[in-house]
Amino acid sequence: MRPNRISRHCKRCIRVALKSLNQRAKSPTTSSRRSHRLFLKLYISGAKEIDIHGKRAIIIFVPVPQLRAYQKIQIRLVRELEKKFSGRHVVFIAQRRILPKPNRKIKNKQKQKRPISRTLTSVHEAILEDLCFPAEIVGKRIRIKADGSKLIKVHLDKNQQTNIEHKLEVFRGVYKRLTGKDVVFEFPDYVL
């Protein structure tokens, strides 16, 4: 599918999945009323379908302020969407902006200092956190090879191994496509 078609299709499917999740969780408690209002306000900013070694993945970009709300229902929502998009993995990532490094030669001077959350390093770290959300990152190593290339080894929490182990190759390909960096995900037996 073309990028804008996949985005429109994802928006429709997310709306349907949110409604079905809302119907299942409907009860007269105040927390469910709050979550019902929250479900109605959620939207996505875009979607992209990529091919990773024969596997298809759909990256759904959400606004940064809504990321926490999506993460509360992400496990159920991903399960619903993977049923709808059979044979494709679904990943939620916040739509973040990287601002250029300020220098003296720039014509349009920045009126404010660049926030740390808009730096390239910070955005790439946040993408990595969003990518493997149900699992926490417990450690990270950067290995520089003799030819100068870098390899990032990410150690994930052992508790979530059964839930996300089958998606690690997809996570690796998505991170490579979005940032251009090589990454390897591991579940260490030891605690860092």
Within-domain flag for 50: yes
Q: Report the percentage of the chain scoring pLDDT > 90.
A: 35
pTM of the model: 0.81
Within-domain flag for 88: yes
Within-domain flag for 91: yes
pLDDT band for position 30 (cuts 50, 70, 90): very low
Q: How many CB atoms lie within 10 A of CB 18?
A: 20
Side by side, the strands of the sheet bearing 46-52 are 46-52, 55-63, 88-95
Parallel, antiparallel, or unpaired for β 88-95 and 137-144?
unpaired
pLDDT at 153: 94
93 in Cβ contact with 131 (< 8 Å): yes
Within-domain flag for 106: no
62 in Cβ contact with 10 (< 8 Å): no
Model confidence over 89-121: pLDDT tens digits?
Answer: 999 999 999 988 887 777 676 678 889 999 999
Within-domain flag for 146: no
pLDDT at 38: 57
Model confidence over 46-57: pLDDT tens digits?
Answer: 888 899 888 889
CATH of the domain at 30: 3.30.300.20
Question: What domain count does the chain have?
Answer: 1
Model confidence over 123-151: pLDDT tens digits?
Answer: 999 999 999 888 899 999 999 999 989 99
Would the pLDDT of 3 be above 70?
A: no
Model confidence over 167-176: pLDDT tens digits?
Answer: 899 999 999 9
Domain, as residue range, for 5: 1-95
Highest mean pLDDT among 45-49, 64-68, 75-79, 99-103: 64-68
Please report, for residues 43, 76, 102, the alpha-carbon distance to residue 94 in angstroms, rounded to integers and kept in the order given: 12, 18, 24
Within-domain flag for 15: yes
144 in Cβ contact with 177 (< 8 Å): no
Q: How many CB atoms lie within 10 A of CB 103?
A: 6
Model confidence over 151-191: pLDDT tens digits?
Answer: 999 999 988 888 888 889 999 999 999 999 999 999 988 76
Within-domain flag for 182: no
The residue-averaged pLDDT of 14-27 equals: 66
Would the pLDDT of 1 be above 60?
A: no
Within-domain flag for 157: no
77 in Cβ contact with 17 (< 8 Å): yes
Could you give the CA distance from residue 124 to residue 140 in angstroms, rounded to a whole number? 13
